[in-house]
Structure 1
């Protein structure tokens, strides 16, 4: 930066985003701020950390001659100096933020900064020493996350009576912390991943949130904890050396206790709302004194063999998760006492196979589970499902994937609220029974599946998206599949009509949300009922002039994707790891003068819209050519002209092309909605007109 000071005396704020690849390096001179006596805000920031290419604002070794009389806000990402200069005039400073800086000591000696309320030096890995803070009596927030070289916190911190939050997470060199009982306003203390910290300091009684996860050397919880009566959240996850917790019965405010990976912890404390016992060695927790518990997580609890009957005492329990409790021997029998949990909303037994899993047994009295919306029974070794499954009438999500049953009871049609059914990798199932309403289905790798029932939609009032995924279902009966497609197409068209009509009655000025539906199944050719077909990845569509007499267009888009490398391997070695790609489309309307204007099927700000998501490696990777059909709609009034162009592509989540999965064919089918002002209550199949 050249020493040209003309006009700089009026500058009050400087803000530069240094993350852009187009941002050039700036070389400041010692007199860069010499005339900026009114400067109140100085911000060299990085909006996209991933795009950061290091510090781009360079400072002379001797620092600055004159600086910052009126400065209130200083943010300097990657601040290059080792310390703030003694001649920095920062008496007016309120906020000091220097993340990822090169600072070794913030300042030396004593500095009077009575207006300072916030210091943020996160990820300043060169920071060795922190200064005396007695000159900052109004400091409210101190953030030193990931300052990995910092080994000591000054004792003067105990006098900061206005401090509300202290973040020291990831300070792996800290072995001790001074007495904090004087921090009368402190509500949040983060000590996560302070792996060398063996003892906790005295803490103020007003503390509400305490994060201790990853404190591997912490052996005990001090006795003064019983006075922390306002504590709401205590995270002890990963405290591998912790062998006991105080009786927390008097902690009326405690809502969350996390003890994930506390491998030495044998007992469960009482009187909390959320209890996280993932990866613990607890054998059989008693719930006699846990009547306020809202959520219970027992995932991967290797010593847990059964659920005690006292679980019925948890009258407020809404979430119960026992994912992958490999030693539970009472499954597939679910304890009858669960029926007493009238507020239970989510129940997860996935991975609990038991020793002799044969038939899933649901308690006869399921009427108590009136609020159960989610049921997870993935990979439970189930060979038979009960007939009374359809009595869980509030169920919205049902996971039955990776089991061994051959059929699903017909009572599933009674699940009138079911939105999602997962039967993926159930290799023995042959028939998918009739489902009620607009239910998404995942049936990936159901290699024996032959029959699909005609969808029983009943013109339902649900308006969420529907997806039917039959990837690698190679035995699907063609007539059955066509029957299923026919029902889906009719429902999609009727749904568009009713939604558009309702939307126009409420607000005709805004575009309505598109009721998207999509289907994927093994196939080589675009269906013949598609009016426009192409053997490439793009297609042009000419609309007839009479289409402008209608209010909206329903359209079906189809693509055939081909696989050049059926044996493609993921970079990751995990058996269940997947990397996903999106089959995208871009809809373009040509204007009369030849220019092209984007006119998307949805209101997305992206240049494309996703038709379907498929894994491009992993166990669910598509193993042959597959057909993908998607449905959408939009208003005729939004058209620029009568020519469409659709471009299809396969990209990963970083928007890069997937080389071994390509779109080789595509098609478009259009249906026009009749004038909605004259529809009245006419049945919806009669409201639509196909293009021949």
Structure 2
């Protein structure tokens, strides 16, 4: 078996024991044992020195890893998520000095060994726990103090790890190169100023945080799922690159809204807040740097605000624009749609009955005068991904006209030649 490159036994549910390694298997680069009944790996597994991928996902009988696993010096990806009985890492985990991705969510692991700081090439670390993992409610994950040593870390997922406010200090050691951070479904209420220096952070999920912490100005996607105060929402206008704002499963300070809302919905209030604060002041400065040229907000509601004049029950809408529709008072285009988001399968019977992980709203300006040589102005706005607990929700997209003009090179004087506006939504499922 000297020439064997891939060993795949995934899904062999009766496989309880992995054979001892004998002979030369230097060509073997991946071992896939996901969803097997393996209880342990032999100590000889370390002889597979050429392995770059070891997949043990959902091996629910696996209780321990031999220390020899850490002799796989070329290992780049280690997948342990779903190994619900696995409680500890080998102490010499840090010997995997080529490891780039470590997935250990939905396990019984509550602490990383001190040697984790030696994983100098680690880019992705996921310890996320789903709602069905029982141990997370009894004990919290103990965060390592060596985050600063993970200098290449780009993505950190600690969702569902039962973390509390007093553990937030460990986050101060995060590398400034971090781009994605998920802290959702923890016990945080208030978070200290640990994010503002993360200059590369693009995605942040901070469920159950009542007060919005100071964020890095480069933030692009923000998920604030519960208890966000109205004053904190107003502060979001400070972040010029924020493209996607998701209010998932929210329970705002109802009193601060209803006293002023005159029976309008919370989504009406928030949309008005964003639109009344001249959105051009936020979006226009970013156009030249090719950052935010659209902005979207997601609400877990079921109705489109009544003040959207043009409405349709289909996934696409189009209407004729009035003559000379563009003038100095015209702002931009606001689009609102109802869809379903969350893990699921898209139904072929009805686009609305499908569940999407995320969606895109596409807007077009079309010139129907065939004598005019004007390109279709088109812009797409992301309105997901969403929380896995989403049901039906309202997606709001703000699409600046200036963005499309800049991309196409169209002269402002030709805008009124466009006579048709079209918008559509397309859902996507992440496998």
Normalising by structure 2, what TM-score? 0.71
Structure 2 residue 90 is the aligned partner of structure 1 residue 318: no
Offset, 1:303: 2.6
Q: Is the 8 A contact 1:544 1:642 kept in 2?
A: yes
The residue number in structure 1 matching 2:266 is none
SS where residue 150 of structure 2 aligns? coil
SS where residue 312 of structure 1 aligns? helix
Structure 2 residue 408 is the aligned partner of structure 1 residue 628: no
Match of 2:135 among 341, 346, 354: 354
SS where residue 412 of structure 1 aligns? coil
Alignment of 1:603-618 (within 5 A): 609=380, 612=383
SS where residue 199 of structure 2 aligns? coil
Alignment of 1:439-458 (within 5 A): 439-443=219-223, 445-446=225-226, 450=230, 451-452=232-233, 453-454=235-236, 456-457=238-239
Match of 1:369 among 112, 126, 150: 150
Structure 2 residue 238 is the aligned partner of structure 1 residue 238: no
Structure 2 residue 390 is the aligned partner of structure 1 residue 601: no
Greater fraction of residues in helix: 2
Q: Is the 8 A contact 2:57 2:81 kept in 1?
A: yes
SS where residue 378 of structure 2 aligns? coil
The residue number in structure 2 matching 1:647 is 422
The residue number in structure 1 matching 2:178 is 395
Match of 2:245 among 446, 459, 468: 468
Structure 2 residue 266 is the aligned partner of structure 1 residue 496: no
Structure 2 residue 347 is the aligned partner of structure 1 residue 578: no
The residue number in structure 1 matching 2:410 is 638
Alignment of 1:149-188 (within 5 A): none
SS where residue 321 of structure 2 aligns? strand
Q: Is the 8 A contact 2:294 2:398 kept in 1?
A: no
Structure 2: how far apart are the matches of 1:440 and 1:309? 37
Structure 2 residue 295 is the aligned partner of structure 1 residue 517: yes
The residue number in structure 1 matching 2:31 is 257
Offset, 1:345: 0.8
Q: Is the 8 A contact 1:517 1:630 kept in 2?
A: yes
The aligned length equals 373
Query: 1:84-113, CA deviations, whole angstroms, 9 ceiling, x for partnerless residues?
Result: xxxxxxxxxxxxxxxxxxxxxxxxxxxxxx
Relative distance call for 1:437 and 1:301 in structure 2 (3 A) is same
Match of 2:40 among 247, 266, 275: 266
Offset, 1:307: 1.4
Q: Is the 8 A contact 1:437 1:455 kept in 2?
A: no
Structure 2: how far apart are the matches of 1:469 and 1:347? 23
SS where residue 300 of structure 1 aligns? coil
Relative distance call for 1:556 and 1:449 in structure 2 (3 A) is same
Offset, 1:248: 5.8
Gaps of 5+ in 1: 1-224, 500-512, 527-532, 548-553, 603-608, 655-692
Offset, 1:265: 5.3
SS where residue 31 of structure 2 aligns? strand
RMSD: 4.1
Offset, 1:251: 2.5
Offset, 1:419: 0.9
Offset, 1:601: 2.3
The residue number in structure 2 matching 1:435 is 215
Offset, 1:411: 1.4
Structure 2 residue 333 is the aligned partner of structure 1 residue 557: yes
Q: Is the 8 A contact 1:257 1:275 kept in 2?
A: yes
Relative distance call for 1:627 and 1:317 in structure 2 (3 A) is closer
Q: Is the 8 A contact 2:297 2:395 kept in 1?
A: no
Relative distance call for 1:289 and 1:340 in structure 2 (3 A) is same
The residue number in structure 2 matching 1:98 is none
Query: 1:319-343, CA deviations, whole angstroms, 9 ceiling, x for partnerless residues?
Result: 1111211x33xx2x44332122111
The residue number in structure 2 matching 1:386 is 168
Q: Is the 8 A contact 2:286 2:293 kept in 1?
A: yes
Relative distance call for 1:248 and 1:628 in structure 2 (3 A) is farther
Normalising by structure 1, what TM-score? 0.47
SS where residue 283 of structure 2 aligns? helix
Gaps of 5+ in 2: 258-268, 312-316, 348-353
SS where residue 601 of structure 1 aligns? strand
**Structure having greater relative contact order (Cα 8 Å, sep ≥ 6):** 2
